């Protein structure tokens, strides 16, 4: 396994197939994708997991974190998220946060993220904002 920066375009197919398989690919593109740092985890040159990091000042948000469904539960996502958290630390950010699907909060708690009282819904999915100090 190796992690490297990739283009925003390289994230879109995996984002769509994992996060919103019933939507078209335009749905997973972010208006400010061009401002993000996009990472991919590869296994034998196959893209297995993607995540995008957006840094503003001393705050970093990760978005569109997706691991191929056939590879979930095998450590790919964990490896990638740990990598991105370390990258955010090296950029001297103080806080990292995400909009977590409510059914994934237990997963993010393993990385020290804490749910807030800020919740919202998008596309019929419930989200909670989670964060941690770095």
Low-confidence stretches of the chain (pLDDT beneath 50): none
How many domains are there within the chain? 1
Q: Say what the pLDDT of residue 123 is.
A: 85
Does the model's pTM come out above 0.85? yes
Q: Per the domain annotation, does 107 fall within a domain? A: no
CA distance 60 to 54: 6
CATH number at residue 62: 3.40.630.30
What number of other Cβ atoms are within 10 A of residue 49's Cβ? Answer: 28
Q: Say what the pLDDT of residue 66 is.
A: 95
Nearest Cα residue to 132 out of 118, 120, 116: 116
Q: Per the domain annotation, does 118 fall within a domain? A: no
Instruction: Classify residue 71 as exposed, middle or buried by CB count within 10 Å of its CB (0-12, 13-18, 19+).
Output: middle
β partners of residue 50: 40, 66
Domain extent at residue 48 = 2-97
- The H or E element spanning position 38 is strand 37-43
């Amino acid at each position: 396994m190796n992690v490297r920066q990739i283009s925003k375009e390289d994230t879109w197919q995996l984002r769509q197939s994992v996060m919103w398989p019933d939507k078209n690919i335009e749905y997973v593109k972010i208006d400010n994708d061009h401002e993000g740092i996009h990472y991919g985890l590869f296994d034998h040159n196959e893209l297995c997991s993607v995540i995008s990091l957006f840094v503003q000042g001393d705050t970093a948000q990760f978005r569109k974190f997706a691991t191929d469904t056939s590879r979930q539960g095998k450590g790919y996502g964990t490896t990638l998220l740990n990598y991105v958290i370390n990258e955010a630390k090296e950029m001297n950010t103080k806080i990292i946060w995400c909009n977590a699907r409510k059914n994934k909060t237990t997963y993010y708690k393993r990385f020290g993220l804490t749910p807030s009282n800020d919740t919202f819904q998008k596309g019929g999915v419930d989200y909670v904002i989670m964060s941690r100090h770095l």
